[in-house]
Chains A and B, each alone.
Chain A
Amino acid sequence: MLKELRAKLDNKEISAVQLTQHYLDAIKIKNPALNAYVNVTSDYALAAAAAADEVIAAGKQTMLTGIPYAVKDIYCVQGIESTGASNILKGYKPPYTATVIKRLPGAVLLGKTNSDEFAMGASTENSCFGPTLNPYDPTRVAGGSSGGSAAAVAADLAVFSFGSDTGGSVRQPASFCGIVGLRPTYGRISRYGVMPMASSMDTVGPFAKTVEDLALLLEQVAGFDPKDGVTSQQPVEQYSATVNQPVEKLRIGIVKEYFELEGLDPAIRQLTERVINQLATLGAEIVPLSLPHTKYAVPAYYVIVPSEVSSNLARFDGIRYGYRAPETADLLDVYTRSREQGFGDEAKRRIMIGTYALSAGYYDAYYAKAMKVRTLIRQDFVAAFKQVDVLLAPPCPGIAFKLGEKSDPIQMYLEDVFAAPASLAGLPGLVVPAGQVNQLPVGVQIMGPQLSEALILRVGRMIEGLPGQ
């Protein structure tokens, strides 16, 4: 899709301003019902589009010049309200811009998209702006936490978008909205300027309509950034140059524990198996294997994440930025009242669970224990990738659920059951549409070893090209 739009812009079939206006008009019509965008930056977008047209007229355009896109509201953009979908940051206009956005020169930012508060959730219902609705069925969620970014692309309100994935927040909404989404290897894309949730697992990643577009986007934004200390210095590959090459002699691992999981929708299991069988007929070798510690991934994740959340969200103190409670008696009162009034329930739950898990007397029982289990989960993957090139699995246990259906926190946490293991190990995961169940889209997830993006994108492209997709 990016290449076609690039050609149209370069051939002057359409101007960047016309293209941007087309998307702004579509947002005006469709967004009130979907709530994918929480802040539409029309003036900023039209100015950027006009500048892009000048660049194109001068023949100095690059891949993304004049292409309209969106980012999740946890991305900081200088001078543009960036709230993390939290009341505690309403009105905040950052003095700086996220690295990812700087690495999309010429692309036209249409606005900020909805999210669970500071990316904490799996439905975009934990947002101070209210939930994003699924473009396929407005009684259902778009997934989360990057639900707004996924819905915007699915509903043709942006050509591509960026979200973040700590424990499935790109992968599950991509599945729910029937588009492609990539969680990159931990450290492959800089997170500078993106509000942190759980720093040892946070990644940022793109959504698009095609795997080729993801490849084009990844090669634009990936790579070392001195401002994110965990970014890899490994060279960035030209993913788009190889994405269309089918993989010969592909060895696909099928994880026994994933398919035996209680709670996996049988229709989704069948759809995943159909994709696997189709790849087998193309010559892929299917290898059943075991990741014995799978069951412990979500419990370990929900100790480690809240612990890191309690630390990361300590910065919201009602003093340097964001919300301050009125009528406070002293400094302590400023902290406790501002945080009481500014944070939503899930933020409070995670901060308090994390505070408890890190507190004197409980650290070893919870946090240290979870960090050790994390080692076991990583070792499972190391053993698996000695036998196979990639793992194929559902992205999440079910189809898009109804608004309000998962009001119980633990039920919501179980959405991450197929996503949390790779997150704990820092692995990349790509979600590609696999079909529909009850007229709702369902994706399939391809996981690979660290920095195997070129390979999983090629596999994703193969799945995209299968008959019936």
Chain B
Amino acid sequence: MALTRDEVIRISKLARIALTEEEIDRFQVEMSRILDYVDQLNELDTTNIAPTAQVTGLENRLRPDVVDDEFTREEMLASAIDTAEGHVVVKSVFNKAS
């Protein structure tokens, strides 16, 4: 098995996905099989091969940094789940000092 149970838990924390105990067991098996499968890439010697990050050959394409008014604040906030006074509301990050 390429992954331990603890590793699956660690990855799920990094990925910000809560998992049930059943999911941890299942993903351990499935992800291990996928990683074993992609391991065949190691059959290839890639010394001195440059990585391909993109296939267009384009180089840094820049545009003027100009604010456009395509969207209003109200239109953008309309999709947000909780808003107040023109802002997005989020849960507190730190616990209040008790």
Contact = CB atoms under 8 A, between A and B. Distances in A.
Interface of A: 92-96, 186-187, 200, 226, 229-230, 232, 293, 295-296, 299-300, 302-303, 310, 314, 317-322, 324, 328-337, 339-340, 343, 348-349, 351-353, 355-356, 359, 366, 368-376, 378, 409-410, 413, 424-426, 450
Contacts of B80: 319-321
Interface residues of B, number: 54
B84 interface: no
B1 interface: no
Mostly helix, strand, loop or mixed at chain B's interface?
loop
Interface in B9-66: 11-19, 23, 27, 30-31, 33-35, 37-44, 46, 49-56, 58, 61, 63
Contacts of A450: 55
A186 B56 contact: yes
Given A95-B78, A299-B41, A410-B33, A368 B11 contact: no
A349 B34 contact: yes
B92 interface: yes
B34 A410 contact: yes
A336 B41 contact: no
Given A336-B17, A359-B14, A376-B49, A200 B55 contact: yes
A376 B46 contact: yes
Contacts of B13: 336
Contacts of A319: 80-81, 88, 90
Contact of A340 (B19, B75, B92): B19
In this complex, the member of B35, B52, B54, B88 whose beta carbon has the largest number of chain A beta carbons within 10 angstroms is B52
Contacts of B91: 328-331, 333-334
A371 B51 contact: yes
B69 interface: no
B97 to A, nearest CB: 15
A93 B38 contact: no
Contacts of A348: 17, 19, 23, 27
Given A96-B71, A299-B41, A331-B90, A372 B49 contact: yes
In this complex, the member of B3, B15, B80 whose beta carbon has the largest number of chain A beta carbons within 10 angstroms is B15
